[in-house]
Amino acid sequence: MLFPTQSEEVILTISIILITLAIVSAVLFTIKKIFPEKNLKELENRTKSWWIMILIFIFAIFINNLASYICLGLLSFFAFRELYSVLHFRQSDRSALLLAFLAIPIQYTLAYIKWYGAYIIFIPVCMFLLLPSVLVIKQDTHRITKSIAMLQWTLMLSVFGLSHLAFLLSMPKIEGFSSGGHGLLLFLVFLTEINDVMQFLWGKTLGRHKILPNVSPNKTWEGFIGGLISTTAIGYFLRFLTPLEPGYVILTSALIAISGFSGDVVLSAIKRDKGIKDMSDTIPGHGGIFDRIDSLSFTAPMFFHLVYYIAYPHL
């Protein structure tokens, strides 16, 4: 079925997001008209990319159930490709890498058919044992430890972690909670991204004390705490998208802010190690795909398992 009906809460939230973005665009446009000498290119690029990303997201998530899983699988594919491309694997790792790519459709199929038991062990157990075994066949032991570790980590982050977005859509219905998986997915993605934006804005305006200067020189305590408070507040107002009690919504939102920050700085550290500024230049104004979803790759599994534990005790 094309565009299955969504709950009023989901539609309301999407309208709020689109209106907010429209206001930002209008403000940028006005500033440009009044002060034409100001250089707003980067902000304009970012806003334009936000429009495209949000429209793709809405389209991907709401057009059709199967299409949502396929689109999220593609996101994992692009993310995995981008991340492993900067990590310098060996020539002899090719077959294992190809196998890791094949794990993506399998993982998303398991989410689609709602086979939770297989879905949750496929990468952490099956691929964990299988990939090193395949790596060994080539008998190239020089720096094989590094390849084994990097391959599993890349797969965990970009496929296992992100596939939790898809499994949110497979969650069973809870009585009295009409938004369902779409509501949870929207809550998670919106809060993660708004946390990035809020940390950035608070850091720009109030930032004084650097938090991890050798990893990410632009991150400050003020940005982190400002983001944490704003995200928790926004999460509290959007609690109708989740089946959680108000107290748990506050806890969950705060954890989204903290784990989002962690994902951000962990990926920053890797970029720093590899001597690159951005993962690639796929998204104008943002960088690569992983520059945008670094936080999401951390918040998704955290949020999923927390909600799963609190609200779905009988699964």
Question: Of 78, 161, 68, which Cα lies nearest the Cα of 120?
Answer: 161
Say whether residue 275 binds another protein (CB under 8 A).
yes
Say whether residue 145 binds another protein (CB under 8 A).
no
In the complex with another protein, the residue whose CB is nearer, 65 or 282, is 282
| Nearest approach, Cβ of residue 303 and another protein (Å) | 28
Which of the stretches 56-64, 84-92, 160-168, 239-247 binds another protein when contact is defined by CB under 8 A? 84-92
In the complex with another protein, the residue whose CB is nearer, 78 or 116, is 78
| Nearest approach, Cβ of residue 36 and another protein (Å) | 27
Say whether residue 281 binds another protein (CB under 8 A).
yes
Alpha carbon dihedral 185, 107, 69, 312, in 10-degree steps, equals -40
Say whether residue 32 binds another protein (CB under 8 A).
no
Say whether residue 247 binds another protein (CB under 8 A).
no
Q: Which of 49, 170, 178, 280 binds another protein (CB under 8 A)?
A: 280
Taking the C-alpha atoms of residue 107 and residue 83, their distance in angstroms, rounded to an integer, is: 18
| Nearest approach, Cβ of residue 142 and another protein (Å) | 10
Say whether residue 88 binds another protein (CB under 8 A).
yes
Q: Which of 28, 32, 40, 101 binds another protein (CB under 8 A)?
A: 101
Which residues, 6 or more positions from 253, have their beta carbon under 8 angstroms from its beta carbon?
Answer: 191, 231, 232, 234, 235, 236
Asked if 242 and 252 count as a contact pair (C-beta separation under 8 A), the reply is yes
Q: Which of 51, 59, 77, 200 binds another protein (CB under 8 A)?
A: 77
| Nearest approach, Cβ of residue 268 and another protein (Å) | 17
Which of the stretches 107-115, 155-163, 221-229, 278-286 binds another protein when contact is defined by CB under 8 A? 278-286
Say whether residue 82 binds another protein (CB under 8 A).
yes
Q: Which of 23, 31, 98, 233 binds another protein (CB under 8 A)?
A: 98
Say whether residue 22 binds another protein (CB under 8 A).
no
Structure token digits, residue 46 = 């970012």
Q: Which of 38, 41, 209, 274 binds another protein (CB under 8 A)?
A: 274
Q: Which of 38, 41, 94, 209 binds another protein (CB under 8 A)?
A: 94
Which of the stretches 96-104, 160-168, 219-227, 294-302 binds another protein when contact is defined by CB under 8 A? 96-104
Say whether residue 26 binds another protein (CB under 8 A).
no
Catalog residues that contact another protein under the rule CB under 8 A: 77-78, 81-82, 84-86, 88, 91, 94, 97-98, 101, 143, 273-275, 280-282
